[in-house]
């Protein structure tokens, strides 16, 4: 039985991972083909984003059939092969389940539109206001109002995301039973992990106007959310002690996450929270260009580390996923210190208390795409917000600069395997352009190179298995107000670990508040890192120090 605390999860966006049939789209056979690569990296679980039947209006997060593989990704036989071949390499699968909403092409919604009252109650339909306008002023997370009018009913249905993603009515017990049955279906297929998309939005509260915001306070961490998750646990994945779960928590609170992922809460194994990835936003506004607030980043990371630990709850720790730009472009350096900054950022995450998640290509230091034309983008959110920015009077060039930094398509460009055309991703035309830097950044050039970013990730994954302090240790921030250094300490029984990182390209001197006697360097992104005090930290320098002989607190 795998211990999720000492495990590492690797996220695969199948559409962009590897195309084996030349149609420009990655598929399940592409994942099978690269299992040896993933075994060599050392990961324990593969989280695959949705590959179910879908019209792909939101790249698969608009599911039209939860029990069928979309033909563009392969067949159920391919999936069965993937489970079997991954298991033979000691790797397990984690599926991405989208249960806040379905595609409007799902048979449930189509029956609802046909007037079937049973299925109409699977969704959230409401009469408009007396003036005929939407029931509330809530905003979709993709822009615009969150209600779509259906003339046949003279009613609106709720869609917190795209209008083709209708929110399910979890107040209906029949909906909850459907969801439980879907989870059990995939359990029977050998799946040992589930990631639940925006799961903390499933319990809606009061349907009323939000005069202070966009409506999220009425549906985020709603009144019955813990009840619903406990029931889902009890009726499905909780029946198999080997299954791990992670909830994607949108705009959540630590208080709720302590319950979602508490060791004895009976809900989920761990949670994703995103507050640390809003430090280059303006408030909650993503579509702006502002510098990242480093002290805010530290305070958020450290407070979540301490707060969750105090309640025996578990974090999923990460920088990247399919919804966020590449971290080396965001907080690191794409130029002369590309390798050093990518390794430093990896150290920060992998030494934290929590299960680390790697997004495909992160282990190679893949960067943002730097697209220059709207025709290169594929993401519905990017299209919507580009138009919103233009409608507000922003110039086209300024709107493009924002997309270059914040678009989700930055993380969705094809995996860079080698120097061949299209980075070895496809022999055809890729569904989205390959990053032009693939000849310099690719897996072939890094695997086997002891100085590569790939090798550094291998080492971090190995350290988590070899040293219980990383999986079990306490967390203590060090010099929290320092303007350049992100450092912390982990302690467990006889082991003490220090993770020390210069977050910037400017060298700095740092006085470690912990006596360094007995500590040795177990990993560094410079070949001659030394545990001196004071430390002269070079650009983006990272030091991981270990002492085996007890604590000196």
Catalytic positions: 197, 248
Q: How far is CA 234 from CA 2, 223, 237, 314, 485, in A?
A: 21, 19, 7, 19, 44
Distance CA 126, CA 149 (A): 10
Which residues have C-beta within 8 Å of that of residue 223, sequence separation ≥ 6?
Answer: 203, 205
What dihedral angle (degrees, nearest 10) is formed by the CA atoms of 396, 286, 441, 419?
-50
The residue ranges of DSSP E strands in 170-266, in sequence order, are 193-196, 244-248
What dihedral angle (degrees, nearest 10) is formed by the CA atoms of 334, 335, 338, 339?
150
Half-sphere exposure of 79 (CA within 13 A, CB side): 24
User: How many other C-beta atoms can be found within 10 angstroms of the C-beta atom of residue 151?
Assistant: 6
- Asked if residue 319 lies in contact with residue 358, where contact means CB atoms within 8 angstroms, the answer is no
Q: SS3 for 119?
A: helix
Q: SS3 for 278?
A: helix
- Asked if residue 93 lies in contact with residue 81, where contact means CB atoms within 8 angstroms, the answer is no
Q: Give me the phi and psi of 400, to 5 degrees please.
A: -65, -40
User: How many other C-beta atoms can be found within 10 angstroms of the C-beta atom of residue 419?
Assistant: 13
Q: How far is CA 503 from CA 343, 476, 486, in A?
A: 11, 18, 7
Q: Which two tokens stand for residue 148?
A: 């779509």
Q: Taking the chain, what is the end-to-end CA distance rounded to the nearest angstrom?
A: 34
- Asked if residue 215 lies in contact with residue 139, where contact means CB atoms within 8 angstroms, the answer is yes
Would you give the DSSP letter of residue 187?
H
Distance CA 244, CA 191 (A): 10
- C-alpha 502, offset from chain centre: 24
- Asked if residue 36 lies in contact with residue 18, where contact means CB atoms within 8 angstroms, the answer is no
Distance CA 488, CA 13 (A): 32
Q: With CA atoms as reference, report the closest residue to 10 among 183, 185, 193, 190.
A: 193
- C-alpha 226, offset from chain centre: 22
Longest distance between any two alpha carbons in the chain, whole Å: 76
Distance CA 79, CA 462 (A): 28
User: How many other C-beta atoms can be found within 10 angstroms of the C-beta atom of residue 89?
Assistant: 12
Q: Which two tokens stand for residue 368?
A: 């943002």
User: How many other C-beta atoms can be found within 10 angstroms of the C-beta atom of residue 28?
Assistant: 26
Pairing assessment for the beta strands 165-167 and 101-103 based on DSSP bridges: antiparallel
- Asked if residue 314 lies in contact with residue 263, where contact means CB atoms within 8 angstroms, the answer is yes
Distance CA 399, CA 387 (A): 9
């Amino acid at each position: 039985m795998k211990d999720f605390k000492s495990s590492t999860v690797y996220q695969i966006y199948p559409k962009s991972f590897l195309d084996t049939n030349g149609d420009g789209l990655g598929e399940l056979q592409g994942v099978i083909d690269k299992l040896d690569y993933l075994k060599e990296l050392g990961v324990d679980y593969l989280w695959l984003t949705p590959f179910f039947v879908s019209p792909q209006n939101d790249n698969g997060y608009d599911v039209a059939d939860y029990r069928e593989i979309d033909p563009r990704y392969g067949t159920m036989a391919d999936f069965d092969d993937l489970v079997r071949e991954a298991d033979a390499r000691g790797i397990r699968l984690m599926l991405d389940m989208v249960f806040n909403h379905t595609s409007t092409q799902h048979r449930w919604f189509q029956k609802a539109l046909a007037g079937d009252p049973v299925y109409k109650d699977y969704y959230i339909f409401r009469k408009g206001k007396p003036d005929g306008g939407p029931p509330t002023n809530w905003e979709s997370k993709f822009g615009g109002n969150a209600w779509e009018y259906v003339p046949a009913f003279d009613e609106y249905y709720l869609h917190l995301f795209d209008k083709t993603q209708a929110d399910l009515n979890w107040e209906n017990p029949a909906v909850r039973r459907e969801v439980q049955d879907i989870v059990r279906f995939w359990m029977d297929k050998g799946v040992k992990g589930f990631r639940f998309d925006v799961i903390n939005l499933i319990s809606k509260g009061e349907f009323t106007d939000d005069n202070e915001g966009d409506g999220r306070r009425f549906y985020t961490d709603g009144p019955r959310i813990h009840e619903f998750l406990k029931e889902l646990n009890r009726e499905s994945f909780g029946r198999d002690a080997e299954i791990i779960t992670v909830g994607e928590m949108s705009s959540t609170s630590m208080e709720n996450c302590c319950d979602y992922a508490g060791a004895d809460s009976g809900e989920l194994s761990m949670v994703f929270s995103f507050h640390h990835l809003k430090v280059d936003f303006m408030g909650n506004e993503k579509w702006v260009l502002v510098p990242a607030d480093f002290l805010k980043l530290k305070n958020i990371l450290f407070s979540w580390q301490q707060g969750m630990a105090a309640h025996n709850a578990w974090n999923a720790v990460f920088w990247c996923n399919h919804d966020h730009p590449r971290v080396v472009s965001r907080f690191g350096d794409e130029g002369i210190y590309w390798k050093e900054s990518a390794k430093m950022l990896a150290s920060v995450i992998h030494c934290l208390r929590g299960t680390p998640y790697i997004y495909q290509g992160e282990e190679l230091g893949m960067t943002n795409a730097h697209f220059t034309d709207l025709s290169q983008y594929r993401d519905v959110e990017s299209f919507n917000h580009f138009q919103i920015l233009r409608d507000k009077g922003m110039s086209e060039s300024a709107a493009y600069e924002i997309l270059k930094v914040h678009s989700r398509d930055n993380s969705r460009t094809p995996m860079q395997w080698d120097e061949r055309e299209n980075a070895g991703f496809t022999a055809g035309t890729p569904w989205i352009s390959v990053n032009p830097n693939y000849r310099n950044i690719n897996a072939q050039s890094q695997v086997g190179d002891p100085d590569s970013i790939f090798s550094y990730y291998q080492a971090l994954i190995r350290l988590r298995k070899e040293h219980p302090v990383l999986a079990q240790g306490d967390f203590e921030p060090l010099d929290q107000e320092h303007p350049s250094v992100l450092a912390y300490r982990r302690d467990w029984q006889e082991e003490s670990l220090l993770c020390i990182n210069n977050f910037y390209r400017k060298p700095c001197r740092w006085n470690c508040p912990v006596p360094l006697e007995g500590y040795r360097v177990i990993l560094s992104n410079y070949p001659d890192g030394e545990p001196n005090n004071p430390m002269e930290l070079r650009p983006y320098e990272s030091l991981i120090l270990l002492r085996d002989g007890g604590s000196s607190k």
